[in-house]
Each structure stands twice: as structure tokens, then as C-alpha cells.
Amino acid sequence: MKILAVDDDKYVLELLDAILKTDGFVEHTLVNSATAALREISNATSPFDCILLDIQMPEMDGIELCGVIRALPHYKTCPILMITAMTDRSYIDRAFAAGATDYISKPFDPLELGTRIRLAEKLVKEQRIATGSARELQSLRNKVGEAFSFSIDDAVTIDEVPGAIDKLVLENYLLQLSRGKIFQSTVIAFAIRDFEKLWSSSSLSDTYMTLVDVADAIALNMKSRSYLLSYCGRGRFVCVTQRIISSALDDLAQRIQASVDEFEAADHDKIQVIMGEPVTMSLLASRNPLQLIDDAIASADQNGRAAQPTSTKPSIWDRINGLFTLR
């Protein structure tokens, strides 16, 4: 695996060099600045498979560099691991929002670092297999005029919206948070009402544009606070943000719905967004942080069912009474 490591501390680079060699990763390049990193990427005969970035660097920090690299054509899915002493919640949020895949704090354990890089290597191999399959499918898609394909359950990545990240990356983000930071987090789910009907009556491209518009509406109304957003399939979105008091969310659903109604890209007179109850974790809780996502989605689904219109069909008693009504 071809690795690029960026850190302005020469001693850290020496340590990384030793760890990578010990773990069998001999094809790696070490540089001490963002400028040097971009130069190596530009001059490389083939793309790097994995990138390790420090955050605190002069001129351009690692988070900004992560965003620049993510925008490059060959680095949309490349694993990017942030290795840094910056453990403040805001840095973690910014790193994942910029496209980071993983986050390792200094001083790092060589064994842990090696494990994370091997996981990244596994991801690279899986992506190569998927890319090969995608190329085979692309010729078929071109024949039917379809630009892309996904199923109703697929957690597709919405790249067009700020703060929107892949669902697996969001899950990894929650798993990396400490117990204290999990306690400071709120998870909220949003669901498109009657999504199955929308799915069956719309083309894939129209459905995807609707998902983009709804994600954009959520992001627009969450922009006053730090957040990460993922689409989870079946018209459901999950947003992770800093802990919020319930009163601060009183009109959030209405504001998001108003934003959806304003968009003209799709036929939004049929689109209604349901918001679930905010989900938080007790400081003493020991459950898996990923359960927060499941609980949030379950709440949105429950609110969606509660919002279903009641039947206007007359009851049997209404019909019987009608027989005896004098006309």
C-alpha cells in the first residue's frame, strides 16, 4: 500500500517511518508541510492509497489540507487518518466534516496505529474490488441511460451538501468519541414521509435530487452549530450535533419543512419531512454509541406513523345511524 504521511515534527516523521517499516508498509513518503504533500500528490505516477495528516501545521493545517485532497479526482474515497494532539471536540468535528476517515490522538500507540492502517488497507482493497465491479456495471448503465444506481435501502453518500458524510464514516466518528464527548452529543433523525411511494413513482435521478434537497434543507437550518449529517437509506437522515436543550428544537422541523418547500428542483408539494425526538446518552450509560443512531431513526419512524392522517371513512355505527336518520 502506498502511504503519504504529513507532519511538521521531524521526530514524529521518524517514528512513523519506523512504525510503518515494522508493520511491513515499505512504500511510504514522509513530508513536513501541506505544500510538500500537494507537490508529492501532483507528481505521483499513481495515487496514494492512504494518507496520514497532522492537524497543527504552518501555512495550511491538516484539516484544510484534508478538504483540498478530498476534492481531487482520485482521492474521493482514499482513507485519510488524522494523527494529532488536538483532541478538542471542534477539531474532531471539523476533521470528519472535511472528509477524514479516522482520527488518532497523540501520543499514539504504535500497535493501534498499525491496526488502523491495516484497516485502511482492507478498505482500499474493498474499494478496488468495488471499482472494478462498478466499471463493469457502468457500460450496462450507459446502455439504459442511467447515470448511477442504488436501492431503496442504500445509504448513498450525498457529496453536494456541506457537513454531509458517508454513514460508515459517521458511525466511525461516534465510535471515536470519548464517553464525555458522547454525553455532549445529540443525535436527531429525519424521515421523508411516504418515501416508499416517492421511490416507486420517481426516477432514480429525481429521487436522488430530492434527497439532496432535503439534506440541504437540514444543513441550512443546522448551520448555526457544529453538525455532521448522513443519509441512512429509506428516506432517513441522521444528524449528530452538540447537545441541545429540547426548547432549542421547538421550530426546527417547521424551519426544515419551510426550506424544503422553497426548493424548486423537484416536485416538493408531495415531500414532508418528519423529525424524530433528539436522542442523547447518559454519562453513566455503557451501551454502544451506534445505538443512538438506531434510537433516533426509530423515533423519526414512530413520529411518521403518528403523523399519518386518520381515516375519514364512516364507521359501521355511523352507517347504521344513517339508516334511521329522517331526511
Q: Can you give the pLDDT at residue 168?
A: 87
Mean per-residue pLDDT for 111-128?
Answer: 76
Return the closest-CA partner of residue 265 out of 156, 160, 154: 160
Name the amino acid, one letter, at 140: L
321: pLDDT confidence band, cut at 50, 70 and 90?
Answer: low
Q: What is the Cα–Cα distance from 236 to 153, expressed in whole angstroms?
A: 10
pLDDT tens readout for residues 259-296: 888 875 444 457 899 999 998 887 666 678 889 999 99
Question: Looking at the domain that runs over 3-140, which CATH code has it been given?
Answer: 3.40.50.2300
- For the chain, what are the domain ranges? 3-140, 167-306
The mean pLDDT value of the chain amounts to: 81
3-state SS record for the chain: CCEEEECCCHHHHHHHHHHHHHCCCCCEEEECCHHHHHHHHHHCCCCCCEEEECCCCCCCCHHHHHHHHHCCHHHCCCCEEEEECCCCHHHHHHHHHCCCCEEEECCCCHHHHHHHHHHHHHHHHHHHHHHHHHHHHHHHHHHHCCCCCCCCCCCCCCCCCCCECCHHHHHHHHHHCCHHHHHCEEEEEEEECCHHHHHHHCCHHHHHHHHHHHHHHHHHHHCCCCEEEEEEECCEEEEEEECCCHHHHCCHHHHHHHHHHHCCCCCHHHCCEEECCCECCCCCCCCCCCHHHHHHHHHHHHHHHHCCCCCCCCCHHHHHHHHCCCC
Question: Looking at the domain that runs over 167-306, which CATH code has it been given?
Answer: 3.30.70.270
C-alpha cell at 196: 416508499
Task: Give the lowest-confidence range in 63-77, 121-135, 180-194, 284-298.
Answer: 121-135
pTM: 0.64
Mean per-residue pLDDT for 147-175?
Answer: 84
53: pLDDT confidence band, cut at 50, 70 and 90?
Answer: very high
Residues above pLDDT 70, as percent of the chain = 81
Does the pLDDT value for residue 70 go beyond 60? yes
Mean per-residue pLDDT for 42-63?
Answer: 91
Mean per-residue pLDDT for 154-163?
Answer: 86
Does the pLDDT value for residue 159 go beyond 70? yes
Q: What is the Cα–Cα distance from 28 to 20, expressed in whole angstroms?
A: 8
Which range scores top for mean pLDDT: 14-18, 121-125, 131-135? 14-18
Q: Can you give the pLDDT at residue 149?
A: 77
Which range scores top for mean pLDDT: 22-26, 74-78, 186-190, 317-321? 186-190
Task: Give the lowest-confidence range in 36-40, 138-142, 211-215, 320-324.
Answer: 138-142
pLDDT tens readout for residues 80-101: 998 888 767 778 888 888 888 8
Neighbours of 43 (CB within 10 A): 7
Which range scores top for mean pLDDT: 119-123, 164-168, 319-323? 164-168
Calculate the alpha carbon distances from 133 to 70, 127, 128, 140, 292 in Å. Answer: 22, 10, 9, 11, 33
Q: Can you give the pLDDT at residue 285?
A: 62
